[in-house]
């Protein structure tokens, strides 16, 4: 890995450039503002600034409930039509452009050319590999992936991954910055498709699709099984600590000694569905039935309200991670 000329420390990061202000980018903007940072945002889409400010206004009450940092204000947001203008004076960049390798590679080439070598360039990409994206940069050592979980203004997880040419200092600098503003960063040590959290979700989605396809359950049954079963435990502890607790005094070893063979038999029986037109129609119809009498905006608002309460409760924990 190449060595960077010295990335900026977490205490030196005061201005964030947010490139791309769709759903993820707007959520990031709101969060950065709530942390008392200055934000320069840019997006080429029509009416992008108006949509961004409306999104920030929607997110702000939840962030106020969780607690704003000193100096936090929506007035610290500035919007620029031109990318290079938004980058001026930035100490850290959070990019949220389209998931197209050609577009993102060109975007990073332009950002790299416009900023000093010590400024970290982080991407929110869900699936692209930074090794490919950073290849167009003069300073590829400062390019990292900082993948959030939706919605970023509430969900603390950020997956930090370096490409083949990313320096250890840039990776650690990103981790330190995200941790300093209240995120829960993890270091993904190898580039893999979908990173960590999305791969874990994909494993669940595969079986959720399979069970509906086979007529074992409806989409509502699946959602109920997760939301009122393991999902409640997963919100408090991850799979390994839950397995450990399931083993009683013997912990995870006792649990695996006794349930290892049944688990292996379940693995062998899991489905491998294809997302055919027929399956898509079944899933569409099932979810539309679940959504009767509700709007997506109402569901999102209720989700966020409960997430705020859950996060506040988790913050009070003295034992759970």
CATH number of the domain bearing residue 284: 1.10.1040.10
Together in a domain, 100 and 214:
no
> pLDDT at position 308, please?
94
Q: Is 316 exposed, middle or buried (0-12, 13-18, 19+ CB in 10 A)?
A: exposed
Cα–Cα nearest to 235, from 142, 158, 306: 306
In a domain, 303, yes or no: no
Cα(145)–Cα(143) distance, integer angstroms: 7
Return the ∠ at Cα 273 (arms to 267 and 275), rounded to 5°. 150
> pLDDT at position 247, please?
93
Together in a domain, 127 and 82:
yes
In a domain, 59, yes or no: yes
> pLDDT at position 6, please?
54
**pLDDT tens digits, one per residue of 235-266:** 999 999 999 999 999 999 999 999 999 999 99
Cα(237)–Cα(256) distance, integer angstroms: 18
In a domain, 316, yes or no: no
How far apart, in Å, are the Cα atoms of 309 and each of 36, 145, 229, 253, 314? Answer: 22, 29, 19, 34, 9
Together in a domain, 96 and 218:
no
> pLDDT at position 127, please?
82
Together in a domain, 146 and 210:
no
CATH of the domain at 26: 3.40.50.720
**pLDDT tens digits, one per residue of 127-154:** 888 999 999 999 999 999 999 999 999 9
Together in a domain, 160 and 22:
yes
In a domain, 133, yes or no: yes
Together in a domain, 30 and 151:
yes
> pLDDT at position 91, please?
98
Q: Kindly state the tokens that stand for 166.
A: 């990313």
In a domain, 306, yes or no: no
In a domain, 315, yes or no: no
> pLDDT at position 11, please?
61
Cα(128)–Cα(21) distance, integer angstroms: 18
All residue ranges of the chain with pLDDT < 50 are 1-5
Together in a domain, 207 and 108:
no
Together in a domain, 183 and 206:
no
Q: Which residues are CB-contacts of 65 (< 8 A; sequence separation ≥ 6)?
A: 308, 312
Mark which of 155, 187, 219 sits at the end of a domain.
187
**Residue tagged 């332009």 (tokens):** 110
Together in a domain, 135 and 58:
yes
The number of folded domains in the chain is 2
Together in a domain, 74 and 207:
no
> pLDDT at position 2, please?
31
pTM of the model: 0.91
Owning domain of residue 49: 10-187
Q: How many CB atoms lie within 10 A of CB 55?
A: 20
Mark which of 187, 205, 240 sits at the end of a domain.
187
Together in a domain, 201 and 120:
no
Q: Is 157 exposed, middle or buried (0-12, 13-18, 19+ CB in 10 A)?
A: middle
In a domain, 314, yes or no: no
In a domain, 295, yes or no: no
> pLDDT at position 8, please?
54
Together in a domain, 108 and 40:
yes
Mark which of 168, 187, 206 sits at the end of a domain.
187
Q: Kindly state the tokens that stand for 234.
A: 């997963």
């Amino acid at each position: 890995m190449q060595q960077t000329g010295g990335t900026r420390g977490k205490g030196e990061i005061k201005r964030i450039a947010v490139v791309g202000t769709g759903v993820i980018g707007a959520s990031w903007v709101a969060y950065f503002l709530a942390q008392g940072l200055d934000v320069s945002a840019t997006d080429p889409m029509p009416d992008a600034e108006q949509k961004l400010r409306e999104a920030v206004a929607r997110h702000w009450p939840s962030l106020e409930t969780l607690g704003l940092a000193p100096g936090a204000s929506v007035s610290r947001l500035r919007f620029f039509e031109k990318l290079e203008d938004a980058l001026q004076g930035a100490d850290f960049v959070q990019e949220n452009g389209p998931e197209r390798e050609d577009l993102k590679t060109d975007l990073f080439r332009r950002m790299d050319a416009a900023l000093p070598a010590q400024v970290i360039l982080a991407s929110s990409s869900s699936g692209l590999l930074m090794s490919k994206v950073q290849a167009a940069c003069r300073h590829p050592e400062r390019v990292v992936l900082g993948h959030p979980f939706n919605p970023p203004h509430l969900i603390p997880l950020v997956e930090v991954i370096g490409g083949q040419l990313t320096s250890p200092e840039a990776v650690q600098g990103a981790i330190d910055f995200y941790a300093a503003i209240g995120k829960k960063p993890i270091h993904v040590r190898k580039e893999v498709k979908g990173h960590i959290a999305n791969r874990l979700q994909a494993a669940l989605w595969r079986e959720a699709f399979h069970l509906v396809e086979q007529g074992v359950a409806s989409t509502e049954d699946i959602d109920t099984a997760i939301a009122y079963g393991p999902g409640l435990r997963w919100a408090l502890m991850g799979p390994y600590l839950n397995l450990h607790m399931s083993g009683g005094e013997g912990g995870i070893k006792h649990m695996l000694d006794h349930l290892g063979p049944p688990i292996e038999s379940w693995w062998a029986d899991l489905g491998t569905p294809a997302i055919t037109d027929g399956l898509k129609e079944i899933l569409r119809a099932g979810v539309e039935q679940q959504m009767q009498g509700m709007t997506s905006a109402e569901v999102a608002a209720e989700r966020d309200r409960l997430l705020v309460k859950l996060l506040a409760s988790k913050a009070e924990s003295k034992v759970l991670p």
